Structure 1
């Protein structure tokens, strides 16, 4: 057996083991439980599971899909998650061999786990835990830092370096947060928010969108942080009206002319960076004020969950801008088509978008390189 085949085999075995732990995350994260303590146990009878109960896939099959101790049926999702993770890890090792991509190979395996766990939780609860998405953005940046230069060695599209990963994370979050901002504005019939966040929230993200379009992402993020600092200094909310920020962005977009793409990239990048900072602040605030989490249950209407914004940031951090944009396109098309099917069959209009983002990311990772390079060549041929 060749070294490459052994690498793929061991990657698949590692994936099976990680898939077993992924099932722990899927069960415990939405419930706010520790992922380390107590040890694995049956959720029905609470009996601690032994080593023979935890062998990926084989234990479930040998036990006939039932708990050894209370005979309660075990969801088939457990072996499915383990198998998908094993196959995914083997696929990554085959398509992105570690001798070429180094730490980037492990990074892509981590991304697959984040996507699978997030999708399963989103399907169950319509939420994407901050404990998964926000550290995921940081993890993507760290792997990009560790694996910088892999794309030059491979001679292919490759993986992003740190700067490209940061841009991808900001742009991914920015595209979806812009959908959130403008969609929510329409749902409110262009009225201002009734419950604006203080000191840092959507008003600051909208300001970053406008300023970033004109002056670049760093200036946009700086404007958002300056506005938040003003709120802190004033000890009250200093309003940043959306008719000025969102309306101004639309007018500027119409006047951008040949600089349209640069304006969009700057605005979306700034909004995404500000949105990720907001997400981190809200997460830390919530962890300090758990008892108050239901205080404002009735808030302003939203067009898209903020968890999707952070998951798009994760995808951008790991895959870079080119694959991110393809992933978003696949997610939108798949979500629209499958959403129509679900609406026709079940009459259900509410669908989680996280699994479609994950599907788009996997498609962009394994099948998107040729399409992206072809488009780049065609676009380059059109330029003077």
Structure 2
């Protein structure tokens, strides 16, 4: 048995164990519980579970899908998550052999866990926890630094660009959708001290001066709000409107190259989005009451959840901006197909977009490179 085959087997076993931990994340994160303490216990009788109760898949099967202590049914999701994770980890180890890619496969395994756990949480509570998405962005950048861009994976600058572009693409869709839903009126409930107004500002500034300038502009606007102790409005007719005027000017030969302007705008919006995400994560972690009040506070309509923005940033950090485009196209296609199936079955329940993004990211992870090569050849690029 060669080293690569052995690593595939080890990866599968490791995936089963991580899948067991993923079930902890899926249960505890949306309930704002500590993921380490108290130790694993039955949610029905609260009896602490022992090692024999926590063997992936085997424990559930041997117990007949029931708690050893109170005989309450155990959700079959537990062995399913463990099995899927084990198979996915083995597939990643086979596709990205450690002898060629070094530590990169481990990072991609973590990405899969983020996608799977995040999707199931999103399906349950319509929320993508920052502990998965923003930590995922950081992990993607760390692994890009460690492996230095092995094979078709991004190095650190490319991973950073992928994170910014990923966030920027989704947040631009959200900005435009919300603007249309508000019939191009200004926001009635702008976020304090930082939110979509600063992201729109980052979009415009980034288009002309790049993502660093966009981040500085968004931070300056946030500090101005904090100093004034109120929202100092940044009218979207100027920022969003100015971005589209910029596109027209650029296509007419005035200003930066059209592609550079568009990339700069998306990266600038992505940088401002991550600033918002990190700020609100810190604030809400420090003040759980403020987090609850924010959920109940009135808000303007949004086309997409902000968790989707941060999830796409994590995908871009791990896989790069080209894979972001593959993931987006696949997610839209998957959403359309599943939506039609649900309509045909007369199912009225809505599905959040996070799971669709996860499907797109998995496709990009396993088949992104041949898809990109096929499309490049088709377009003669």
TM-score normalised by structure 2 residue count: 0.95
In 2, distance between residues paired with 1:118 and 1:29?
10
Look up the match of 1:162.
156
Q: Please list every run of 5 or more consecutive structure 2 residues that lacks an aligned counterpart in the other structure.
A: none
Structure 1 Cα separation of the partners of residues 359 and 302 of structure 2 = 23
**How far 1:378 sits from its partner (Å)?**
5.0
Offset, 1:191: 1.3
TM-superposed CA distance for 1:141, in Å, is: 0.5
What does the per-residue CA deviation read over 1:143-178, in whole Å, with 9 as the maximum and x for residues that have no partner? 111110422xxxxxx211000000000111111111
Contact residue 215 and residue 275 of structure 2 kept, 8 A = no
Residues in 1 aligned to 2:218 and 2:344: alpha-carbon distance in whole angstroms: 43
Aligned residue in 2 for 1:265: 263
3-state SS, counterpart of residue 79 of structure 2: helix
Question: 1:277: which partner in 2?
Answer: 275
For structure 1, list consecutive stretches of 5 or more residues without a partner in the other structure.
152-157
- The aligned residue for residue 61 of structure 2 is 61
Q: Does 1:343 align with 2:334?
A: no
Q: Which residue of 2 aligns with 1:289?
A: 287
Q: Tell me whether 334-343 or 199-208 shows the greater mean CA deviation.
A: 334-343
Change (3 A) 1:160 1:149: closer
Partner residue, 1:183: 177
User: Is 1:196 paired with 2:194?
Assistant: no
Count of residue correspondences: 375
Q: What per-residue deviation string (whole Å, max 9, x for no partner) do you get for residues 102-140 of structure 1?
A: 111110011011111001101111111111111111011
Match of 1:325 in 2: 325
Is the Cα contact below 8 Å between 2:163 and 2:316 reproduced in 1? yes
RMSD: 1.5
Q: CA 1:133/1:106 → structure 2, altered by over 3 Å: closer, same or farther?
A: same
| Aligned residues of 2:153 and 2:320 also touching (Cα < 8 A) | yes
**1:24-67 per-position Cα deviation (integer Å, ceiling 9, x unaligned):** 11001100111111111110011111211111111111111111
Residue number in structure 2 paired with 1:154: none
Distance 1:130 1:86 in 2: 24
Quote how far apart the aligned CAs of 1:236 are.
Answer: 2.8
Q: Verify the 8 A CA contact 1:339 1:349 in the aligned structure 2.
A: no
Superposed, which structure 2 residues align to 1:126-145 within 5 Å? Answer: 126-145=126-145
- Residues of 2 paired with 1:190 and 1:137: CA distance? 32
**Structure 2: how far apart are the matches of 1:64 and 1:149?**
46
Q: Give the conservation status (yes or no) of the 8 Å contact 2:165–2:267.
A: yes
- Greater mean deviation of Cα atoms: 248-257 or 16-25: 248-257
1:237 Cα deviation after fit? 2.1
| Equivalent-residue separation in structure 2 for 1:144 and 1:230 (angstroms) | 35
| Cα deviation code 1:316-371 (max 9, x no counterpart) | 00001111110111011101211222233244262211111111111111112112
The 8 Å contact of residues 174 and 302 in structure 2, kept in 1 or not, is answered as yes
**Aligned-partner Cα distance in 2 for 1:58–1:34:** 26
- Which residue of structure 2 lines up, in the alignment, with residue 228 of structure 1? 222
Runs of 4+ aligned structure 1 residues displaced above 4 Å come to none
- Measured in 2, the distance between the counterparts of 1:65 and 1:295 equals 38
- Give CA-to-partner distance per residue, 1:60-86, whole Å, 9 cap, x none: 111111111111111111011000100
1:232 deviates by 2.7
